[in-house]
A and B are shown apart, each in its own frame.
Chain A
């Protein structure tokens, strides 16, 4: 399952990269924009992976317009699944709770997930050159999982690429500091040898159409 809210700049930026690089190879359900709500999320249990973008804190992960999708008291059926939460701080409590509830493996962050994006790219977030150094390692981590490789490999892709991009971005120290911060706080819990069934690789010759305009 993919959960991709689009209601503000950070969700647009992160979801946008996944729409461009992950959605075409992931089967439904794909909860994009206003569909990413509790009523749908909690009733859908198909698939072997949950990959979600959303605002979060140690005990909560949210969807469209910050509706809480998962918290410590309402954990969906995650048995045997690989869970990736592109969110803030969920590795502190929610990640361990997901593993206790039977998730095979979890990747998330102990602290805030922070990056610099270009607000002028809100309609085509996948083309945002400021955000790419932070978002492409996440995309490549998710795609490593969808390649059928173990989550330990995907986690190495995530942290290595963040650190490599930080070295490349040394010219802009704020962006580099954010990348190092995210790498330091990335967390893998559960079984590092967990894997999902491999999805076919898809070439991406054309970017998707622009998203509806962002209205602050």
Chain B
């Protein structure tokens, strides 16, 4: 596992304070910068789910994940479940 993803996981294990959300967002930007998932030519990777009337988006461009993690505690919690609690 890459150091950037380990750092993201670590950041997502903290309680959803504004500071922790900012840190997790920054860790995701660093992970994304290294992995360049959104930079693959001709593609637009999007994180999706089949949740019903959620407090967080059920389709979000991977590039917009940090901004959402930074501002939306419900999305931060969702990312914690997926990534932080592994």
| Partner-B contacts on A (CB < 8 A) | 8-11, 13-14, 53-57, 60, 62, 66, 86-89, 111-121, 130, 170, 172-174, 177-178, 180-181
CB–CB B45/A180 < 8 A: no
Q: Does B62 contact A (CB under 8 A)?
A: yes
| Bound complex: CA A10 to CA B46 (Å) | 9
Query: Taking the nearest CB of chain A, how far is it from the CB of B32, in angstroms?
Result: 9
Q: Which of B48-86 contact A (CB under 8 A)?
A: 48-53, 58-59, 61-62, 78, 81-83, 86
B82 contact set on A, CB distance < 8 A: 114, 177-178, 181
- Kindly state the separation between the CA atoms of A181 and B86 in the bound complex, as whole angstroms: 8
* Residues on B facing A (Cβ under 8 Å): 1-2, 5, 31, 35, 37, 42-53, 58-59, 61-62, 78, 81-83, 86
Q: How far is the CA of A40 from the CA of B52 in the complex (A)?
A: 21
Sample 27 A-B pairs with CB under 8 A, ordered by A number: A8-B58, A9-B48, A9-B59, A10-B49, A11-B50, A53-B50, A54-B50, A55-B53, A55-B58, A56-B51, A57-B52, A87-B52, A88-B50, A88-B51, A112-B51, A113-B50, A115-B48, A115-B49, A116-B47, A118-B43, A118-B46, A119-B45, A130-B45, A173-B5, A174-B31, A174-B37, A180-B86
A114 with B47: CB separation less than 8 A: yes
Known: A8-B58, A178-B82. A88 touches B49 (CB 8 A): yes
B46 touches A173 (CB 8 A): no
